[in-house]
Amino acid sequence: MRNNHGLAAALVALSMTVAGCAEVQRASEDIARQSGNPRLAGAIHGVGNVVGSLFPIGYEEESSIGQAMALQVVARYGGVVDQPELVRYVNLVGRAVANTSDRPDIPYRVAILEHESINAFAAPAGYIFVTRGLLKQVRNEAELAAVLGHEIAHVSQKHILDVIQRSKRLAGVTEAGLSYATSNPAAFKSVIDGAVKKLLDEGLDQDKETEADTIGEVFATRVGYDAEAYVNLLTRLRDLKGDDRALFKTHPNFSARIEAVQKTIQSKHLVATGVLLPERFARMTKRV
Amino acid sequence: MSSGLEGEEAVIPPRVTRVVLIVLWIGLLAWSAESWAETVYVQAKTAQLRVGKTSLDAVVGNVKFGDALEVVGRDGSWVEVKTSAGARGWIFANKTSSSKPSGTNDTLAKLGQSMRGSDASATTASAGARGLDKASEGYANRAGVSARDRDAVDRMTAYQIPDQEVEEFLREGGLGEYAK
């Protein structure tokens, strides 16, 4: 009798899970458990997880990943700047760009990292970081909007989630790590540490960086910021750091990035509106 | 014999039937395309419909991300649209898209999350209105993240600026539909 129940539950679970019916899968799992077969219940649960791992990561899971990664970014970069007016300003620019991005329906927050290096990062679910060092290199609001547009594009294109899902090693952990983030924190930590290493130490792949440059440029110009602003900033950073000293060895060099952005400006007919807002930027960032 | 011939005359060759059907189908498609109005979708968190095509014109309605709008006309940076509820007004063209945005939590993502049964994003019991979620708090404990840094991410997560203030910021800067 137990076996019959178990077999039925297993068959229903397999067929319905493959068909994409999570409710039935859970019901089958309950039947197996109630019929006194915890191992079968576990197996059915496992089938659901394996099949589930083939689907995209939902926002709630993305939010957990983003928040945990944000913790590590803040810890590694010396904490965040606590200057309410400045923080509010960079968030206003970020929100202005994000609200007409391709993914305006999630919250975006920008924090300034207490670090003199020139850098910016984005963790999933809209956690965006710029360093104090980068803000010192920016000359107007249009340039800041372009930097934030680049980071918002990483979020809207789900670049980090893609890295997590694509990596074979992490994919196995993703299934367990996200399902059991609370009961198996070691697995979750492994997912986060791998993603943070990619973000902070190795850098994302060239095609993702180029995509973020070009899409971010579109986001910033949609709000009306001058299309040439990002080219000017990248050119200044190239002059400062040298073309071979891009942020990561995996990144395209500055010349390639500038060329890609210029091509986007031409192909999409993006306009040099003249809207740079250097005075507002100077007023709001005088204490950087 | 004669009845057989009559029968043959009555039958329309299948090839002719196919041609007639294809011609009818093409005609139907052409007619449908004519009768379909152009649709755009709201590609912004929120947007206003205005009486006229400037940001100074009065707001007649609000629409949100993903709403479908029927195009009535276009002029420069503005599109005149009609909502499904029948409201009519002008929307800034940069806040629309010709393709339907997919949204953050599409059906597949929700299904996957449901199958994996994740409850990681539930906030911790002690957190109150805000706080790190369970998974992140567990991570912070294991990774030895300091209380100061946890607080920074906690505050970052809770950070909000009302849409109205963002709108005011755009207006002050002459950005978006407030371009001078």
A28-52 confidence digits (pLDDT tens): 566 666 666 766 666 555 554 555 5
Q: Report pLDDT for B23.
A: 79
CB contact under 8 Å between A61 and B116, yes or no, is: yes
The answer to whether B73 touches B90, Cβ cutoff 8 Å, is no
The H or E element containing residue A130 is: strand A127-131
CB contact under 8 Å between A99 and B44, yes or no, is: yes
Whether residue A212 is predicted with pLDDT greater than 70 in this model: the reply is yes
Question: For the residues A163-180, what does the mean pLDDT come to?
Answer: 60
CB contact under 8 Å between A57 and B112, yes or no, is: yes
pLDDT level of residue A68 (50, 70, 90 thresholds): very high
Suggest the residue from B63, B65, B91, B139 to mutate for an interface test with chain A (most A CBs closer than 10 A): B139
CA distance B48 to chain A (A): 13
Q: How many Å apart are CA A201 and CA A100, to the nearest integer?
A: 31
For chains A and B, count residue pairs whose Cβ atoms are closer than 8 Å.
Answer: 204
CB contact under 8 Å between B136 and A68, yes or no, is: yes
The answer to whether A276 touches A229, Cβ cutoff 8 Å, is yes
**What is the rounded average pLDDT for all residues in chain A?**
84
Nearest to B118 among A107, A178, A275 (CB): A178
Whether residue A141 is predicted with pLDDT greater than 90 in this model: the reply is yes
Phi, psi of B56 (to 5 degrees): -85, -15
Q: Report pLDDT for A6.
A: 52
Whether residue A176 is predicted with pLDDT greater than 70 in this model: the reply is no
Scanning B32-91 for CB atoms below 8 A from A yields: 43-46, 65-66
Contacts of A71 in chain B (CB under 8 A): 132, 136, 139-140, 143, 145, 149-150, 153
Q: How many Å apart are CA A36 and CA A39, to the nearest integer?
A: 9
Nearest CA in chain B to A64: B121
Q: Report pLDDT for A168.
A: 47
CB atoms within 10 A of CB B175: 24
Please state the domain extents for chain B. 2-35, 39-102, 107-163
Suggest the residue from B46, B55, B97, B115 to mutate for an interface test with chain A (most A CBs closer than 10 A): B115
pLDDT per residue, tens digit, chain B (180 aa), is 344 444 455 567 778 788 878 878 877 766 655 456 899 999 999 999 999 999 999 999 999 999 999 999 999 999 999 999 999 999 999 999 999 987 655 666 666 666 555 555 554 433 334 578 989 999 999 999 999 999 999 999 999 999 999 999 999 999 999 998
Least confident stretch, A68-82, A182-196, A268-282, B36-50: A182-196
Question: For the residues A100-115, what does the mean pLDDT come to?
Answer: 96
CB contact under 8 Å between B116 and A53, yes or no, is: yes
Q: Report pLDDT for B28.
A: 74
CB contact under 8 Å between A52 and B148, yes or no, is: no
Least confident stretch, A214-218, A239-243, B28-32: B28-32
Nearest to B173 among A57, A58, A277 (CB): A277
Whether residue A285 is predicted with pLDDT greater than 60 in this model: the reply is yes
Q: Is B133 on the interface with A (CB under 8 A)?
A: yes
A200-222 burial, b if ≥16 CB within 10 A, otherwise e? beebbbbebbbbbbbbbbbbbbb
pLDDT level of residue A12 (50, 70, 90 thresholds): very low
Question: For the residues A100-129, what does the mean pLDDT come to?
Answer: 96
Provide the CB-side half-sphere exposure for A214 (13 A, CA). 17
Q: How many Å apart are CA B68 and CA A85, to the nearest integer?
A: 37
Scanning B84-123 for CB atoms below 8 A from A yields: 94-95, 101, 103-106, 108-121
CB contact under 8 Å between A61 and B176, yes or no, is: no
CB contact under 8 Å between A188 and B120, yes or no, is: yes
Q: Is B139 on the interface with A (CB under 8 A)?
A: yes
Q: Is B15 on the interface with A (CB under 8 A)?
A: no
Q: Report pLDDT for A242.
A: 86
SS3 state of residue B138: helix
Contacts of B106 in chain A (CB under 8 A): 56
CB contact under 8 Å between A189 and B142, yes or no, is: yes
Q: Report pLDDT for B13.
A: 74
Whether residue A73 is predicted with pLDDT greater than 70 in this model: the reply is yes
CA distance A260 to chain B (A): 23
CB contact under 8 Å between B45 and A105, yes or no, is: yes
Least confident stretch, A16-25, A123-132, B47-56, B131-140: A16-25
Whether residue A198 is predicted with pLDDT greater than 70 in this model: the reply is yes
CA distance B26 to chain A (A): 34
CB atoms within 10 A of CB A259: 15
Q: Report pLDDT for A243.
A: 80
| Assigned CATH for B39-102 | 2.30.30.40
